[in-house]
A and B are shown apart, each in its own frame.
Chain A
Amino acid sequence: MTTGRWLALKRWKAGRRSGNERYKALLDGSPPSPSTDFDDAELVCLDIETTGLDPATVDMLSIGWVLIRNGKVDLSTAESHVVKPGREELGDSPAIHGLTDSVVEQGTSPEAAMQRVLEVLTGRVLVVHHAGLDKKLLDRLCREQFGDRLHVPVIDTLALENRRKSRHHHLEDTRSLRLPDLRNHYNLPWYRGHDCLGDAISTAELLIAMVASRDSATTLSDLY
């Protein structure tokens, strides 16, 4: 079964179960079909700062995103939210992310943040670097709040580069797949990193660079 049809089926099932309007709207606003040209699709590049590394237990500290439209990163759509943690005490990470306890205390609730995420993702494609963490966390939060996981098409820039490398038999290539190293490979400028909006923009730039580096025209299905 194709990604598109499989996704449609899952979405339909999830929609029947959920009572939440926002969640239903996400499922009703169908995402762009896999054959859509990259330049014609709207994509949400997103990054989350968390209290730890295990998506099953961590909390969201902040979340930020920016849209790609017409093949360009559109900074007018850049948005980020500090999120009040649900359970865990703040560990070491605040020092890394520059978020102090008091800033976090003034943040939005995880529920409100998720509502906004669903709104933005409606009819669009999600882009993350390393879906293993961020997408799993969104799925978990979504399940806790709406009863099912987040059914949206996902592009993972890390997995994408991994596949590209193995396809081109770069066996000797032991280059790191960390965001800053990949950006360097695509001649993108150095970024400070470690704030969610900055990382989201960073990921967005990486994706348009990857698309521009392909030999042929790119559709969404080339990127899933």
Chain B
Amino acid sequence: MNELPEITRFLCELQGFEDLDEKQLSAAAKAMQIGYYKAGSQVLTIGATNKQLHILRSGALELRNAEGDLVMRAAEGDVFGFPSLMNAVPLRNQSIAIEDSLIYHLDGAVFSELRRKNDRFDTYFIRLLSDRLLSRPATTKLHGAEGRAVSQLITRPPVAIDGAASIQDAARKMVDERVSAILVTCGEKFSGIATDRDLRKRVVARGLPIDTSIQDIMSINPISIDADDLAYEAALTMMQNKIHHLPVTREGKLIGMVSRSDFMRIETEHPLYLVNDIAKQTTVEGIIDACKRLPALVASQISADADGEQLGKFITTITDSVTQQLCRIAEAELGSPPCTYAWVALGSQGRHEQSARSDQDNALVLDDSATDADDGYFEALARIVNDGLDACGYVYCPGDVMASNPKWRKPLEVWKKYFNNWITVPEEKALMHANIFFDLRCVYGDTGLVETLKESIRTDAKRNELFLALMAKNAMNFQPPLGFFRQFVLEKSGEHKNTLDIKKHGIMPIVEIARIRALAAGEVRITTRNRLRAAAKTGEITEPDAASLIDALDFIEKLRIEHQNRQLHAGKRPDNHLSPGELSSLIRHNLKSAFSQVSVSQSALLNRFHVA
């Protein structure tokens, strides 16, 4: 007598679980652990592995992404943690109890077992997952197989045969074309489908003669899908109907077929698979190997029409998981660390804005209990991670802003002093090199250390006008090259190698403006677009100014992506140097207006801080 009536009574009223039978409900109840979380405490952390489905029994909690944006607020009966569980990837959101909460943690293996046994339960969670992927804010949306149109999955024209043909002819055609299903037509119209399984079940098993016509054994009017539907809908349709092939039509006309195996092929291109693969590696060599797939993945993201923001997020996600796994490998090699620490990404990785090829910029923040003797451990750890990143293609920082540099491997107190110095006794020269430190983000280890540091930066910077003024002055080092166009127009041909560094002259000026405006607004947000939006909300920058800068950034990043994509396809190492030949007159015109916008915003920034 080990029934758990209280638990099953609660479960059976939840969506999804209501489809389970008594035995399955009881199995679910017995596979649960119950945890209690005081208001304010963290239930799940970003980057951790998740092997359970979490059900809020009572209380309330909030899911927030790495940016701190609210993803979802959960109330009694809500489930969370299913995306990471179903995709077997590290957690992407942190969840914090906002009231005292009682949470049921359902064992992941039993959850999968229930999905296998109960189709309705399975379908409910697949749909929930799709909804979550599609409703994700644009900033975090990843382009992959599930977001593409079905038509993009079709690899060949349909293999079809007339309904009057014999079974043997149909089978021959299937062998010749190497397909496991054949479409059957009746004149111009598509009337059915026959599969390997049909031949086995309806022909061989029944001993039908091989000259029977194919239309006698085909499935009539099979389920089909429109070419413009999304690929995930095709996957869902096949799963729900337990079929392996799905004819694709456009305006009623047959244009091809997709099968479950098409999905398997395309799914391995999903960025989450690479993240997952990296997280499984136990050696640096393994990670280097997995990273070799990155260029092809970037190319596929671009062809799926990812914009600069999405692509930056995507590439940074991969870099983060490489970094995290290298830290884990280092810890496995060196033993557990002598005190807590945070591995911090700076610059573009910190901002989630990496491009196809970015350098590494990083640092280590140690707990204040770290002694001089402990530094040996962290030096070794930094070497392993810095070398590993370099070997994976994230080349060493030319300015030596890396954790292996003892200057950037310090306890929290020292970091606070660094920032306090930069902010309260600012020097133009020192600040020029320090600006990427203001784009700090914890990638691995104790997030709390970095949060404490950020809070002290936020309060220091907001009040300090001199510091902000010098930052603004420094930002002028990156000027949009309006002269580029004049020169370009003059030099129609010739040997002159007139290339444009689109990062230095196009993207960095916007990044700088956003960083300073956000610091002035006391904002801790870190991506350039979010900084601009947040600064606009507080009135630190005008709404139209912020919106135009975001548009300009979108446009310039798009140019960079297309440029790097051409290089990737040509097997070259991507860079930031655009040559004039790549720009059509329309693009030149648009780029010129984007640059003018940046110039106007720079002047406004100088005025704001009274810098001549």
Contact = CB atoms under 8 A, between A and B. Distances in A.
Contacts of A76: 30-32
Given A187-B100, A189-B58, A73 B33 contact: yes
Contact of A78 (B2, B41, B102): B2
Interface in A167-198: 186-189, 191-192, 195, 197-198
Contacts of B5: 192, 195, 198
B24 to A, nearest CB: 15
B7 interface: yes
A60 B105 CA distance: 32
A187 B1 contact: no
Q: Give the top 10 A-B pairs by smallest Cβ distance, nearest first.
A: A73-B34, A187-B100, A72-B33, A189-B58, A208-B36, A209-B36, A75-B32, A72-B35, A212-B38, A212-B36
Interface in A137-154: none
Contacts of B2: 78-80, 197
Contacts of B37: 212
Given A75-B4, A75-B29, A78-B2, A188 B58 contact: yes
Interface string A194-224: 0101100100110011001100000000000
A82 interface: yes
A186 B100 contact: yes
Given A80-B1, A187-B100, A74 B33 contact: yes
A81 interface: yes
Which of A70, A75, A191, A204 has the most CB atoms of chain B within a 10 A radius of its CB? A75
Interface in B85-114: 99-100, 102, 105
Interface residues of A, number: 28
Which of B32, B36, B37, B41 has the most CB atoms of chain A within a 10 A radius of its CB? B36
A209 B102 CA distance: 9
A94 interface: no
Nearest to B39: A187
A212 B41 contact: yes
A198 B1 contact: no
- Interface SS of A by simple majority: mixed
A213 B38 contact: yes
A126 to B, nearest CB: 19
Interface in B32-61: 32-38, 41, 57-59
Which of A72, A80, A213 has the most CB atoms of chain B within a 10 A radius of its CB? A72
17 contacts: A71-B35, A72-B105, A73-B34, A75-B31, A76-B30, A76-B32, A80-B1, A80-B2, A187-B58, A187-B59, A188-B102, A189-B58, A189-B102, A192-B5, A198-B6, A205-B34, A205-B102
B311 to A, nearest CB: 40
A48 to B, nearest CB: 14
B57 A189 contact: yes
Contacts of A208: 34-36
Contact of A209 (B7, B29, B33, B100): B100
Which of B1, B58, B59 has the most CB atoms of chain A within a 10 A radius of its CB? B1
A3 B5 CA distance: 37
Interface in B343-387: none
Given A189-B58, A192-B6, A209-B36, A75 B1 contact: no
Contacts of A79: 2
Contacts of A191: 6
Interface of B: 1-7, 29-38, 41, 57-59, 99-100, 102, 105
Given A80-B2, A197-B2, A212-B41, A72 B59 contact: no
Contacts of B35: 71-73, 208
A78 B29 CA distance: 10
A208 B31 CA distance: 19
A188 to B, nearest CB: 6
A75 B33 contact: yes
A208 B33 CA distance: 12
B370 to A, nearest CB: 22
A205 B36 contact: yes
B7 A75 contact: yes
Contacts of A187: 58-59, 99-100
Nearest to B6: A198
A209 B59 CA distance: 13
A188 B4 CA distance: 17
A64 to B, nearest CB: 8
Contacts of B41: 212
B363 to A, nearest CB: 30
A132 B97 CA distance: 35
Contacts of A71: 35
Contacts of A80: 1-2
Interface string A61-87: 000000000111111101111100000
B52 to A, nearest CB: 10
Contacts of A81: 1
A71 B36 CA distance: 9
Contacts of B105: 72
A90 to B, nearest CB: 18
A197 B1 CA distance: 10
B1 A204 contact: no
B4 to A, nearest CB: 6
A197 B57 CA distance: 18
A20 B102 CA distance: 41
A72 B32 CA distance: 10
Nearest to B57: A189
Contacts of B58: 187-189
Contacts of A189: 57-58, 102
